[in-house]
């Protein structure tokens, strides 16, 4: 297969971790007989510096003309002035929206070799295997934003169709896994949440009768996620709650640096990115954990190219390397290895 990949390194540790991910992609392609063509473009703060906009037209055009997109991270203190009208994050949000990537898949598992790093009792972590399906192109992220004198307003809206399509993604995924969906909202307070609950109940009942559905309020879900994480299979929720709950869920894995994501939607190119941010404090020092990006490459192979064996080969290599004791600085203070060394071990294990 020939794969045409747009690479958007972005800011902070983004460039380092995307180089690591691409090295692994090359190795998998070589081993399984595929060819990879990569083209790089600017996004985020790097794009603001170079051309004044966080998502230049050329970047969007390149993404539309690619089979899949590998993204590093965006943002940093240099572009965080609250007075500023352009922000790196706008580039990422617009990319998700322009490409119609309404479903963001964030899997969370606990690697047995890392259990000691997790600040939660080991017996609670047994059997944790959850997949958060975060709605990605609606809600308060994309509602009307304005100021009225000394008042600031962020609107939150969802349509029936926006909820239906992401719930269907969750339903299909749950059917192929543990056959349980937990839908998270704040239906005791928010009208959009009541819509979510109604639509989810109907879609699951009519289209996925063999998948169990439960509803949780986001505040108690925040508690259950760390007190009984193995009780969940697929979690589906709106944009903001999904953003917050997945950073929380990352604690279960031992480090935010380990977690990948896939943003998919209406069938065009998907965006694959680690869930961590740009980590400006450690940028350029070759100490960032590349595993979140490497596992995002695995998700890319699985979701954009239907290359399951190739995806599994990366996941197994990462697992073997962690079993072998390799640790970046986020995982151990005791003789950690660098970003490039970790990527090289994964490449060798493939
Ligand atoms: C994420 C990030 C982004 C988000 C930021 C960078 C806009 O936190 O992908 O989780 O909030 O979606
Ligand atoms: Mn986030």
b/e per residue 244-257 (b: at least 16 CB within 10 A) = ebbeebbbbbbbbb
Based on the domain organization, do 217 and 292 belong to the same domain?
Answer: no
- Atom number, ligand 1, closest to the C-alpha of residue 247: 10
CA nearest ligand 1 atom 4, residue: 243
Number of domains the chain contains: 2
pLDDT value for 59: 98
Structure confidence at residue 153 (pLDDT): 97
Kindly state if the Cβ of 11 falls inside 6 Å of ligand 1: no
Q: Report the pLDDT averaged over residues 317-322.
A: 98
Is residue 271 within 8 A of residue 96, CB to CB? The reply is: yes
Q: What is the pLDDT of residues 87-112, one digit of tens each?
A: 999 999 999 999 999 999 999 999 99
In this structure, is residue 109 part of a structural domain?
no
Q: Is 89 in the pocket of ligand 1 (CB under 6 A)?
A: yes
If one residue of 96, 145, 243 were mutated to test the ligand 1 pocket, choosing by the most ligand atoms within 8 A of its CB, it would be: 243
Boundaries of domain holding 141: 119-253
Q: What is the mean pLDDT of the chain?
A: 97
Is 123 in the same domain as 213? yes
Mean pLDDT within 258-270: 95
Please give the Cα distance from 152 to 162 (Å, whole number).
26
Among the candidates 202, 236, 253, a domain finishes at 253
**pLDDT tens readout for residues 133-157:** 999 999 999 999 999 999 999 999 9
Pairing of strands 2-10, 68-73: parallel
pLDDT tens per residue across span 181-233: 999 999 999 999 999 999 999 999 999 999 999 999 999 999 999 999 999 99
User: Do 126 and 247 belong together in one domain?
Assistant: yes
The percentage of the chain sitting over the pLDDT mark of 70, rounded to a whole number, equals 100
The predicted pLDDT at position 308 comes to 98
Residues 169 and 240 in one domain: yes
**Residue 65 has what pLDDT?**
98
Residue 293 belongs to what H/E stretch?
Answer: helix 291-305
Average pLDDT over residues 268-288: 97
- What pLDDT, on the 0 to 100 scale, is given for residue 42? 98
Strand 2-10 relative to strand 212-217, pairing: unpaired
pLDDT at 83 over 90: no
What is the model's pLDDT at position 135? 98
Q: Kindly list the catalytic residues.
A: 141, 186, 219, 243, 247
CATH code where residue 230 lies: 3.40.718.10
pLDDT at 266: 81
Among 106, 260, 277, say which to mutate for ligand 1: greatest number of ligand atoms within 8 Å of CB.
277
Pairing of strands 260-264, 145-148: unpaired
């Amino acid at each position: 297969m020939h794969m045409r990949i747009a690479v958007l390194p972005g800011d902070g540790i983004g460039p380092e971790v995307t180089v690591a991910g691409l090295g692994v992609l090359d190795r998998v392609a070589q081993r399984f007989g595929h060819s990879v063509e990569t083209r790089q473009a600017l996004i985020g703060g790097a794009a603001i510096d170079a051309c004044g906009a966080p998502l230049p037209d050329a970047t969007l055009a390149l993404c539309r003309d690619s089979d899949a997109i590998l993204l590093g991270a965006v943002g940093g203190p240099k572009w965080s002035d609250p007075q500023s009208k352009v922000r790196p994050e706008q580039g990422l949000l617009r990319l998700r929206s322009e490409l119609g990537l309404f479903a963001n898949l964030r899997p969370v598992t606990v690697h047995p070799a890392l259990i000691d790093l997790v600040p939660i009792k080991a017996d609670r972590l047994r059997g944790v295997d959850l997949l958060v399906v975060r709605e990605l192109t609606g809600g308060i992220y994309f509602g009307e934003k304005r100021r009225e004198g000394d008042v600031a307003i962020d609107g939150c809206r969802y349509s029936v169709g926006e909820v239906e399509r992401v719930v269907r993604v969750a339903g299909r995924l749950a059917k192929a896994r543990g056959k349980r969906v937990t839908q998270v909202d704040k239906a005791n307070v928010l009208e959009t949440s009541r819509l979510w609950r109604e639509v989810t109940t109907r879609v699951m009942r009519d289209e996925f009768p063999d998948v169990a559905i439960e509803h949780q309020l986001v505040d108690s879900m925040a508690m259950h996620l760390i007190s009984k994480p193995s009780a969940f299979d697929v979690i589906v929720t709106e944009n903001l709650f999904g953003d917050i709950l997945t950073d929380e869920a990352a604690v279960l894995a031992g480090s935010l640096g380990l977690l990948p994501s896939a943003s998919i939607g209406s069938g065009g190119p998907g965006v694959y990115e680690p869930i961590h941010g740009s980590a400006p404090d450690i940028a350029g020092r070759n100490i960032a954990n590349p595993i979140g990006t490497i596992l995002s490459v695995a998700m890319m192979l699985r979701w954009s190219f239907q290359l399951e064996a190739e995806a599994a080969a990366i996941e197994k290599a990462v697992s073997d390397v962690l079993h072998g004791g390799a640790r970046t600085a986020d995982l151990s203070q005791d003789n950690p290895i660098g970003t490039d060394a970790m990527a090289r071990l994964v490449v060798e294990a493939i």
